[in-house]
């Protein structure tokens, strides 16, 4: 089968899946409906301070699995919903930042610097339109790069890397993520080490339980959903509850700014914004392709790059960055939105999650089965059909479908969500806590999983209080089993050579790079004397 045949099969898998309803004689598959539902929910979540895309993904995934089951037909609808949430939350984050000077996520902070001043001038509608246009443009560009690059990277890895090199690649990836995301390389390594320790509790690749201290409840390991939801979601909920309890009472009433100026974007306005969007889209895509860096850095670099160009090109009468410059909103939103698609490049080509949203996509694939993200996905078989490759092109189709929804209905729905910023956080957090624990019980159907989730929630809380990012822990926990499997395979394939990691120049170079990135970032993080 040719590449075009697989592309067509992926498109058909999305559009000709199980029918949900018929519209004017045209069948609408449940996969398309799930992408739409997830996209709209994502905008609502992104527009609500205190919520974020990962929270919605964490709560939704166990419920979706309980509804659709574990059959192969459930994979595309479930992942379509998750992709929709991921896309919608990225767009919706600009709403509270612009209207109420309340960034729902760290990367939306840069949007407040110019979005809120525009809203105060009565240009809230224009600012939201600029944010939507820039976000959709950056996201579309990023998805195109994903579709083009992921298969080639996977084929390259599968062709030139053997088991020792793949083991070294996993070590390099975890070292890079730990050093960049962890707050400091030392804290990041602590977080990743905890993740590996938790992953190796239970049976693993052995036939007898290990590290269980005689407790049979963890003889088969901790449930992956309990670890991820506990550390990422409940940890954040516990920390937010304490922050609310400690902060002083103050008037935080919000009034929606009056829009009294034209909000339509003319061709001349778009033409002036295009250089900022294009540059930030390249920056965000490049950063997103590197696992673990995230959209906050992309938004910061996009803003800084746009400010440099603005000072160099614009005249003295133009609005400067920080005082309501439309170019600043365009640069920031294009940068942070272009990260989402590129973040799936290491997921689909290497099986390495780079951010929290990618973690839940891998968790969905692992829970449902029949799809294992990694280099083997992009094996183009001639005589038979590779079902994983069909699923991959189905994912590409759903991402482009979500982009189409963003361009057509996303802006209208996004501008109507300003009211969500008025929802008190103290009412949201108990709901999130209850939904998360309910979702865990629905998936695992045993109270032990709920207690595990709460326990890992406290672990995530203490890690945040110590300024240790929990993301390296989660990614190391997910990759721990794959690292052990690959290392054991390499050990056997090299004739039980204990020095198999040093059997080729490629693996040696990756190990040196892993040590180097930790060392360099440690040196840079030390204050100068």
- pLDDT for the residue numbered 107: 66
Q: Which of 83-92, 273-282, 370-379 has the lowest mean pLDDT?
A: 370-379
**What is the overall mean pLDDT for the chain?**
81
pLDDT in tens, 81-92: 999 998 888 888
Q: What is the DSSP string of 235-278?
A: HHHHHHHHHHHHSPP------PPP--S--PPPHHHHHHHHHHHH
Q: Residue ranges per domain, the chain?
A: 3-246+264-525
Q: What is the mean pLDDT of residues 277-302?
A: 78
Q: Which of 35-49, 193-207, 245-259 has the largest mean confidence?
A: 35-49
Range name among 39-48, 131-140, 351-360, 508-517 with the lowest pLDDT average: 351-360
451-476 pLDDT, tens digit per residue, is 999 999 999 999 988 888 888 888 88
- pLDDT at site 525: 58
Quote the pLDDT of residue 317: 65
Dist CA 129 CA 495 (whole Å): 62
pLDDT in tens, 238-250: 888 887 777 655 5
Q: Which of 103-107, 174-178, 360-364, 384-388 has the lowest mean pLDDT?
A: 103-107
Residue 255 has pLDDT above 60, yes or no: no
Is there a contact between 350 and 173 (Cβ–Cβ < 8 Å)?
Answer: yes
Q: With contact defined as beta carbons under 8 Å apart, do 201 and 213 qualify? A: no
Tell me the average pLDDT across 384-407.
88
Return the higher-pLDDT residue of 515 and 308.
515
Q: Is 202 helix (H, G, I), strand (E, B) or coil?
A: strand
Residue 221 has pLDDT above 50, yes or no: yes
Predicted pLDDT at 248: 54
pLDDT digits (tens, 9 = 90+) for 401-429: 999 998 888 888 877 776 666 667 777 77
Nearest Cα residue to 230 out of 437, 85, 54: 437
Q: What residues contact residue 130 under an 8 Å CB cut-off, 6+ apart?
A: 265, 273, 326, 329, 330, 333
Query: Do the Cβ atoms of 487 and 237 come closer than 8 Å?
Result: no
Neighbours of 515 (CB within 10 A): 13
> Residue 27: phi, psi to the nearest 5?
-75, 135
Top-ranked range on mean pLDDT: pick from 44-53, 114-123, 160-169, 186-195: 186-195
* Per-residue confidence (pLDDT) for residue 294, from 0 to 100: 61
**Going by DSSP bridges, is the β-strand pair 26-29/19-23 parallel, antiparallel, or unpaired?**
antiparallel
The residue among 199 and 355 whose pLDDT is bigger is 199
Distance CA(397)–CA(10), nearest Å, equals: 7
Report the interhelical angle of 425-444 vs 447-465 (nearest 10°).
Answer: 140
Beta bridge partners of 210: 202
Residue 354 pLDDT class (50, 70, 90 cuts): low
Give the pLDDT of residue 420. Answer: 65
What integer pLDDT is reported at residue 292 of this predicted model? 58
Q: What is the pLDDT of residues 490-526, one digit of tens each?
A: 888 888 888 888 888 889 998 999 899 888 888 865 5
CB 437 within 8 A of CB 450: yes
| Alpha-carbon span 90 to 95, nearest angstrom | 10
pLDDT of 334 over the 60 cut: yes
Q: What is the arithmetic mean of pLDDT over 152-165? A: 79
DSSP 375: G
Report in angstroms the alpha-carbon separations of 2 from 8, 381, 382, 390, 397: 10, 8, 7, 12, 17
Give the pLDDT score at 204: 58
Neighbours of 316 (CB within 10 A): 5
Q: Rounded to a whole number, what is the largest CA-CA distance in the chain?
A: 75
Q: Is the pLDDT of residue 529 over 70?
A: no
Which pLDDT belongs to residue 527?
44
Dist CA 484 CA 471 (whole Å): 20
Share of the chain above pLDDT 90, in %: 9
- Is 70 exceeded by the pLDDT of residue 191? yes
Percent of the chain with pLDDT strictly greater than 70:
88
pLDDT at residue 314 in the model? 65
Check residue 315 and give its pLDDT: 61
DSSP, res 153: H
Length of the chain: 529
SS3 27: strand
* Pairwise CA distance, residues 150 & 466, whole Å: 36
What is the structure's pLDDT at 27?
A: 77
Model pLDDT, residue 207: 65
The count of C-alpha atoms lying within 13 angstroms of the C-alpha of 133, restricted to the half-sphere facing its C-beta, is: 24
């Amino acid at each position: 089968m040719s590449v075009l045949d697989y592309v067509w099969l992926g498109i058909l898998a999305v559009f000709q899946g199980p029918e949900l309803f018929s519209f004017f004689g045209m069948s609408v598959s449940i996969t398309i409906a799930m992408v739409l539902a997830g996209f709209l929910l994502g905008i609502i979540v992104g527009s609500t301070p205190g919520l974020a895309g990962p929270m919605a993904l964490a709560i939704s995934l166990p419920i979706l699995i309980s509804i659709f089951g574990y059959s192969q037909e459930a994979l595309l609808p479930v992942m379509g919903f998750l992709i929709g949430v991921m896309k919608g939350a990225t767009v919706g984050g600009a709403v509270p930042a612009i209207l109420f000077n309340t960034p729902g996520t760290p990367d939306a902070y840069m949007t407040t610097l110019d979005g809120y001043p525009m809203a105060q001038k009565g240009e809230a509608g224009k600012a939201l339109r600029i944010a939507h246009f820039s976000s959709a443009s950056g996201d579309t560009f990023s998805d195109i790069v994903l579709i083009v690059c992921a298969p080639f990277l996977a084929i390259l890895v599968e062709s030139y890397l053997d088991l020792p090199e793949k083991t070294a690649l996993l070590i390099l990836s975890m070292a890079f993520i730990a050093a960049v995301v962890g707050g400091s390389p030392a804290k990041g390594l602590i977080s990743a080490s905890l993740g590996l320790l938790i992953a190796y509790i239970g049976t693993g690749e052995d036939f007898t339980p290990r590290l269980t201290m005689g407790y049979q409840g963890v003889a088969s390991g901790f449930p992956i959903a309990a670890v991820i939801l506990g550390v990422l979601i409940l940890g954040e909920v516990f920390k937010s509850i304490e922050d609310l309890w400690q902060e002083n009472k103050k008037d935080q009433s919000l009034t929606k700014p009056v829009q009294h100026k034209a909000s339509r974007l003319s061709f001349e306005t778009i033409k002036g914004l295009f250089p900022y969007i294009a540059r930030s889209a390249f920056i965000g895509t490049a950063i997103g392709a590197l696992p673990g860096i995230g959209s906050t850095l992309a938004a910061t670099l996009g803003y800084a790059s746009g400010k440099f160009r603005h000072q160099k090109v614009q005249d003295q009468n133009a609005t400067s960055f920080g005082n309501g410059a439309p170019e600043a909103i365009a640069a920031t939103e294009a940068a942070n939105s272009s990260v989402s698609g590129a973040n799936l490049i290491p997921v689909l080509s290497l099986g390495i999650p780079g951010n929290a949203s990618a973690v839940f996509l891998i968790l969905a694939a692992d829970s449902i089965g029949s799809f294992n993200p990694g280099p083997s996905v992009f094996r183009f078989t001639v005589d038979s059909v590779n079902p994983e490759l069909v699923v991959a092109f189905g994912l590409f189709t759903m991402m482009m479908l979500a982009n189409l929804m963003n361009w057509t209905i996303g802006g209208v729905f996004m501008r109507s969500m300003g009211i969500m910023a008025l929802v008190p956080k103290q009412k949201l957090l108990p709901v999130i806590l209850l939904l998360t624990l309910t979702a865990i019980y629905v998936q695992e159907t045993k109270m032990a999983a709920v207690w595990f989730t709460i326990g890992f929630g406290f672990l995530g809380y203490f890690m945040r209080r110590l300024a240790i990012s929990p993301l390296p822990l989660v990614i190391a926990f997910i990759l721990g089993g794959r690292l052990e499997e690959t290392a054991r395979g390499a050990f056997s394939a090299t004739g039980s050579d204990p020095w198999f990691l040093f059997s080729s120049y490629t693996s040696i170079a990756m190990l040196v790079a892993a040590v180097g990135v930790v060392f360099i970032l440690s040196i840079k993080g030390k204050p100068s004397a």
